[in-house]
């Protein structure tokens, strides 16, 4: 199998550029900074609250990953002597073609003019102006999402976070085929999410073979394949569409399990179980309706989803589980049915959204919180449930995936008429305060925000902050559903079906061990 090489920026390269600043010259709108790599020129901006930000755009932090450096870990950037112009955005990394023409530009129309290049390892820095003798400021490194297929640092304006007294750094990283901390914030995803890692059962070799076929390269050896791919143009490699036969995957070019000594030595779930994780303070959460967009193509979805459609779609959904799929279908059907309103299409639709959201995002995040909290890590959980009024999305979608980003990065295209309301701006201020407090101190509320002190998450309390207007603390958020995934579905997906002597309500035969686990879990869940 061709080895997977991480293409994310290494913190050491970023440190080299960012953490050693010799002097700053502020000349009106022009700001010059001397670094160990060479001088750079950015610009200063006075914000409405009196804060002055120094901004540096498109600054290279690693050597161009082209030619022989394609598919290799990032290498150090060569120093420069002339002043580097950091007043305009650098190129975005090559995008998967379909994503580049749909999701990327639909999310931010301002990206229509951004250049795209294989030479894209650059970062943007947003830093409050400081004077000599001022204390050093904490830094927040934001790594954007995009299914490993699309995205660019230009999409995210770090000035909203920076005006709270932190330095915001947003790097690009290689995508698709070309694909360090004291605190960590996980937003809508975790290493245990079903789409996050290309596990062995997803047969990653097939993707490599298909890439070789489409580019005309030999698979006789990994060395010959990589050598051939380095001779192709970046467009030839990035435009190859190898597909994604497994429905839980977002990209064929997710990280893979390398084995001992590799970037990812084992499955993330196994590493968590063994306690092999970095013990840094964690803040993590999701939006309330992560996967609402998955139902957008259902005719009449604004009026709900029929029970029959839900049952039929669920039968297709469980095909992704190689064992016990009939049993898993029964368990999920019972777990996401409101029997008092079994034929209500609105409630059925909302339960459908929750099932998909729990599977891909909410349950995996809960699993990581539980494991890290049990390991003694300070953890905080949130649920983002604020929906602007008016909103650019139809009301039935609720608060979908990435809905919180417009508040952290002031993505004006995501607000009605391109401008947030007074209530939206109030939410922006609260969120930016919580996020930057955590970056500075490891505690999102060292003093109350909106009169609320965010309670830490523990396995005993499962405390969370509901981010809405107003903010509010809660406990045991949807614990019944979380236990269903963690103690039933996960175990059943890994259970052999050789001994079958139990029967489900639909007449499906399942292992006795499976039935016993289900009964024990449902009894426990009922008591919560």
3-state secondary structure 57-96: EEEECCCCCCHHHCCCCCCCCCCCCCCEECCCCCCECCCC
277 in the same domain as 174:
no
487 in the same domain as 341:
yes
- Report the distance separating Cα 410 and Cα 424, nearest Å: 10
Contact 455, 473 (CB under 8 A): yes
Count of CB atoms situated within 10 Å of the CB of 325: 18
425 in the same domain as 336:
yes
Q: Is pLDDT above 60 for 110? A: no
Q: Is pLDDT above 50 for 23? A: no
Q: Is pLDDT above 50 for 380? A: yes
Q: In residues, how long is the chain? A: 528
pLDDT of residue 512: 43
Q: What are the tokens at 61?
A: 């932090």
| Residue 3 falls inside a structural domain | no
- Report the distance separating Cα 458 and Cα 17, nearest Å: 38
Highest-confidence segment of 166-175, 189-198, 273-282, 353-362: 353-362
- Report the distance separating Cα 189 and Cα 203, nearest Å: 22
Q: Is pLDDT above 50 for 514? A: no
| Residue 251 falls inside a structural domain | no
402 in the same domain as 371:
yes
| Residue 195 falls inside a structural domain | no
Q: Is pLDDT above 70 for 16? A: no
Q: What are the tokens at 350?
A: 């909302």
- Report how far apart, in Å, the C-alpha atoms of 191 and of each of 124, 273, 301, 439, 467 are: 26, 13, 31, 21, 23
| Residue 258 falls inside a structural domain | no
Q: Is pLDDT above 80 for 246? A: no
- Report the distance separating Cα 487 and Cα 363, nearest Å: 11
206 in the same domain as 172:
no
In which element (H, E) is residue 350 found?
helix 345-357
- Band of pLDDT at residue 377, cut at 50, 70 and 90: very high
| Residue 184 falls inside a structural domain | no
CATH no. for residue 365?
A: 3.40.50.1820
Pairing assessment for the beta strands 122-128 and 167-171 based on DSSP bridges: antiparallel
The SS3 assignment for 10 reads coil
| Residue 5 falls inside a structural domain | no
280 in the same domain as 206:
no
Contact 310, 334 (CB under 8 A): no
- Report the distance separating Cα 161 and Cα 231, nearest Å: 42
Q: Give the residue from 146, 138, 144 showing the smallest Cα distance to 168.
A: 138
Q: Which residues pair with 123 in a beta bridge?
A: 59, 171
Lowest mean pLDDT among 17-31, 366-380, 383-397: 17-31
Contact 391, 421 (CB under 8 A): no
What is the pLDDT averaged over residues 171-189?
Answer: 80
- Report how far apart, in Å, the C-alpha atoms of 322 and of each of 176, 236, 319, 326, 327 are: 27, 34, 7, 10, 12
| Residue 96 falls inside a structural domain | yes
- Band of pLDDT at residue 90, cut at 50, 70 and 90: very high
308 in the same domain as 211:
no
pTM of the model: 0.81
226 in the same domain as 359:
no
pLDDT of residue 44: 93
Q: Which residues pair with 381 in a beta bridge?
A: 284
207 in the same domain as 159:
no
Find the domain containing 288 and state its range: 268-527
pLDDT of residue 319: 83
Q: What is the dihedral of CA 146, 107, 126, 169, to 10 degrees?
A: 0
Lowest mean pLDDT among 16-30, 49-63, 177-191, 405-419: 16-30
Which percentage of the chain shows pLDDT scores above 90? 49
| Residue 252 falls inside a structural domain | no
pLDDT of residue 198: 82
356 in the same domain as 217:
no
Strands annotated E in 129-235: 139-141, 167-171, 183-187
Highest-confidence segment of 120-134, 199-213, 234-248: 120-134
Which percentage of the chain shows pLDDT scores above 70? 82
- Band of pLDDT at residue 107, cut at 50, 70 and 90: low
What total number of domains does the chain contain? 3
Q: Is pLDDT above 70 for 500? A: no
Whether residue 390 is preceded by a cis peptide bond, meaning omega within 30 degrees of 0, is: yes
Instruction: Name the residue with tokens 């993590």.
Output: 284
Q: Which residues pair with 467 in a beta bridge?
A: 384
Mean pLDDT of the chain: 83
Q: Which residues pair with 282 in a beta bridge?
A: 184, 379
What is the pLDDT averaged over residues 196-217?
Answer: 86
The SS3 assignment for 105 reads helix
371 in the same domain as 405:
yes
User: Which is higher by pLDDT, 319 or 400?
Assistant: 400
Q: Which residues pair with 169 in a beta bridge?
A: 125, 141
431 in the same domain as 516:
yes
Residues 6+ apart with CB under 8 A from 178: 7, 65, 70, 71, 93, 94, 118, 234, 237, 238
Instruction: Name the residue with tokens 């294989």.
Output: 118
219: burial class by Cβ within 10 Å (0-12, 13-18, 19+)?
middle
160: burial class by Cβ within 10 Å (0-12, 13-18, 19+)?
buried
């Amino acid at each position: 199998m061709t080895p997977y090489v991480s293409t994310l920026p290494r913190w050491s390269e970023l440190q080299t550029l960012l953490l050693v600043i010799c002097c700053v010259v502020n000349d009106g709108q022009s700001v010059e900074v001397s670094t160990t790599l060479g001088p750079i020129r950015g610009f200063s901006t006075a914000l409405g609250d009196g804060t002055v930000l120094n901004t540096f755009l498109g600054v290279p932090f690693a050597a161009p990953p082209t030619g022989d450096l394609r598919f290799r870990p990032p290498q150090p950037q060569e120093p420069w002597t002339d002043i580097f112009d950091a007043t305009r955005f650098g190129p975005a990394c090559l995008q998967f073609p379909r994503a580049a023409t749909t999701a990327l530009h639909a999310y931010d129309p301002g990206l229509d003019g951004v250049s795209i290049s294989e030479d894209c390892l650059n970062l943007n820095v947003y830093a409050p102006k400081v004077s000599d003798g001022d204390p050093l400021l904490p830094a927040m490194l934001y790594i954007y999402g995009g299914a490993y297929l699309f995205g660019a640092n230009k999409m995210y304006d770090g000035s909203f976070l920076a005006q709270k007294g932190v330095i915001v750094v947003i790097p690009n990283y290689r995508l698709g085929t070309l694909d360090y901390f004291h605190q960590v914030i996980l937003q809508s995803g975790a290493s245990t999410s079903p789409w996050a890692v290309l596990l062995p059962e997803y047969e990653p070799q097939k993707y490599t073979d298909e890439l070789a076929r489409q580019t005309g390269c030999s698979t006789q050896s990994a060395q010959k394949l990589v050598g051939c791919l380095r001779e192709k143009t970046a467009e030839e490699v990035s435009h190859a569409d190898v597909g994604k036969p497994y429905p839980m995957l977002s990209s064929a070019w997710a990280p893979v399990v390398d084995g001992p000594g590799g970037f990812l030595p084992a499955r993330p779930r196994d590493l968590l179980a063994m306690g092999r994780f970095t013990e840094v303070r964690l803040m993590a959460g999701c939006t309330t309706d992560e996967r609402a967009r998955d139902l957008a193509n259902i005719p009449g979805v604004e009026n709900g989803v029929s029970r029959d459609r839900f049952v039929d779609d669920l039968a297709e959904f469980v095909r992704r589980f190689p064992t016990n799929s009939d049993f898993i279908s029964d368990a999920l059907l019972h777990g996401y049915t409101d029997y008092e309103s079994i034929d209500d299409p609105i409630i059925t639709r909302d339960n459908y959204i929750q099932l998909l959201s729990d599977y891909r995002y909410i349950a995996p995040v809960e699993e990581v919180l539980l494991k890290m909290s049990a390991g003694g890590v300070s953890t905080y959980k949130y649920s983002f449930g604020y929906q602007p009024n008016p909103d650019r999305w139809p009301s039935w979608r609720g608060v979908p995936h990435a809905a919180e980003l417009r508040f952290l990065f002031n993505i004006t295209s995501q607000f009605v008429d391109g401008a947030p309301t007074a209530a939206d701006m109030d939410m922006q201020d609260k969120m930016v305060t919580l996020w930057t407090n955590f970056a500075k101190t490891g505690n999102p509320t060292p003093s109350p925000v909106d009169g609320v002190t965010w309670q830490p998450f523990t396995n005993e309390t499962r405390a969370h902050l509901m981010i809405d207007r107003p903010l509010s603390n809660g406990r045991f958020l949807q614990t019944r559903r979380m236990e269903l995934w963690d103690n039933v579905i996960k175990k059943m997906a890994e259970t052999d079906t050789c001994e079958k002597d139990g029967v489900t309500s639909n007449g499906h035969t399942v292992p006795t061990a499976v039935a016993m686990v289900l009964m024990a879990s449902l009894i426990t869940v009922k008591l919560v």
